[in-house]
Amino acid sequence: MTSTTTTTTRPAVDGPGHSYRPLAGVLTATVVSVTGTRVSAIALPWFVLATTGSATMTGLVAFAEMAPYVTVKALTGPLVDRLGPRVVSWTTDAVSAAAAGLVPLLHAQGLLPFWVLLVMVAVIGAMRGPGDLAKSVMVPEAADHARVPMERATGLSGVTERLASTIGPAVGGGLVALMGPLAGLAVNAGTFALGSLIIALALPRGMGRPAVPAAASDVSEAGKEEERPAGYWRMFREGFTFLRSEPLLLAVTVMVGITNLIDAGFMTVLLPVWARESGNGPAAIGLCAGVMGATAVVGSLIAAAVASRLPRRTVFFVGFLLCGAPRFLVLAFDVPMWTVLTVFAIGGFGSGFLNPILGAVLFERVPRHLLGRVQALGSSLAWAGIPLGGLVAGASIALVGLIPSLLAAGALYFATTTLAGLRPEWREMDRLRGQARSGSVDPEPAHRG
């Protein structure tokens, strides 16, 4: 039997009215965690470039972090649904804090060979995956408590991420320029620890509990009903089956997967190498990312306020047009820094509209009890190319140089984000807006055209 589409049933909230505490707590933990990650995104590549001088090894470090991120995130969806996102979030952030803190400590003691750095980075990536997933899964529940539209909640979530993307690179670029890259890695460890404490202690009691029934009814030989827990692989299969049955979600996953691969190579290798070869240094990386993040905050704020009244598909593809290929092309030519920053500012504004739309589409189309599993699989597939982005970019620079690599990446980005919009499933973005699935689904739902 195919699931029906119904309006979301809101759970009880704290007290007689709405409560913004859960939403504020989740968003605060997100901005703290993402800020540290953005600081590390500048500090870590620059640390590797400074100590090895190799773009290829810089790409390898990016691979060592993102490959476990994607793999572990894909497999932990059932665990997030069963254990509850709150427990998963604070425990994984605590482990990440410990691993990130060991990097500068071991380096100071002369005990950080390259393979040990790869191990530490892999641990951070493996913990970040389920931690990020858990925070995202709590957004719909927090929106229910606050009684705000889903697009507004995802818009606010986008604002916090963009704000972190503004603060993080600015802090990271300044720290690396003034105190060296290890200071940025120490800040990353501190933000992980703070995010863990916020989720563990600041959210209200009962927030982030398991989203699936603890057991399924079965009939014993004695004729009595027994409760038997649903198995991990059955839960995993249900999430995969649902995702496979959603053409729009699959189309989003494929397109975002390609752009994520290109963006990963851009941020971890192409932009740092451009900063070094142009003589602008690490401060330019932070300035470019900071300007883009600042205008993205403005875009996200506007999206949070008015996205529910805008045509999703049009805004989505225009946003990608602004934030995609122009960034790559402007770095390929010898232009003044103010021109580079202008292009990044326009791109950031366009990108601010993307995540609120994507988040609203996901939360509308996926039943709550499947959210952890489906989001884990979908986002992991969309991020599957990220571990390869740095490797591909590093190899491309070694083979053909920086400028041809930037031009090729920009052309691929433009083709991906333009041609995808011609497919018919993208019309679903607007057709079912404002609706959400809250009921259960059959393990084998029919394919939808």
User: Long-range contacts: 13-21, Cβ < 8 Å, 24+?
Assistant: 13/144, 13/145, 13/146, 13/147, 14/145, 14/204, 17/147, 18/145, 18/146, 18/147, 18/148, 19/145, 19/146, 19/204, 20/145, 20/146, 21/145, 21/203, 21/204
One-letter amino acid at 165 equals S
Q: Quote the radius of gyration of the chain (alpha carbons, Å).
A: 22
Give me the pLDDT at residue 151, please.
Answer: 66
pLDDT digits (tens, 9 = 90+) for 31-81: 888 888 888 888 888 888 877 777 778 778 888 888 888 888 878 877 887
Give me the pLDDT at residue 405, please.
Answer: 93
End-to-end distance of the chain based on CA atoms, in angstroms? Answer: 16
Q: Do the beta carbons of residue 285 and residue 169 sit within 8 Å? A: yes
Q: Does residue 448 have a pLDDT over 70?
A: no
Q: Does residue 447 have a pLDDT over 70?
A: no
Q: What is the DSSP string of 270-288?
A: IHHHHHHHHT--HHHHHHH
pLDDT tier, 446 (very low <50, low <70, confident <90, very high otherwise): very low
Q: Does residue 247 have a pLDDT over 60?
A: yes
Task: Set out the domains of the chain in order of their start, with CATH numbers.
Answer: 21-209+234-431 (1.20.1250.20)
User: Which tops the pLDDT comparison, 315 or 19?
Assistant: 315
| Least reliable range by pLDDT among 318-322, 348-352, 393-397, 433-437 | 433-437
State residue 6 phi and psi, 5-degree precision.
Answer: -130, 165
Angle at 173 between CA 169 and CA 178, to 5 degrees: 150
State residue 119 phi and psi, 5-degree precision.
Answer: -65, -45
Closest to 174 in 3D by CA, of 44, 50, 39, 79: 39
pLDDT digits (tens, 9 = 90+) for 249-288: 888 888 888 998 999 899 888 998 898 888 787 778 878 8
What percent of the chain shows pLDDT beyond 70? 85
Whole-number Å distance between alpha carbons of 447 and 443: 12
One-letter amino acid at 330 equals V
pLDDT digits (tens, 9 = 90+) for 418-442: 877 777 777 777 665 555 454 433 3
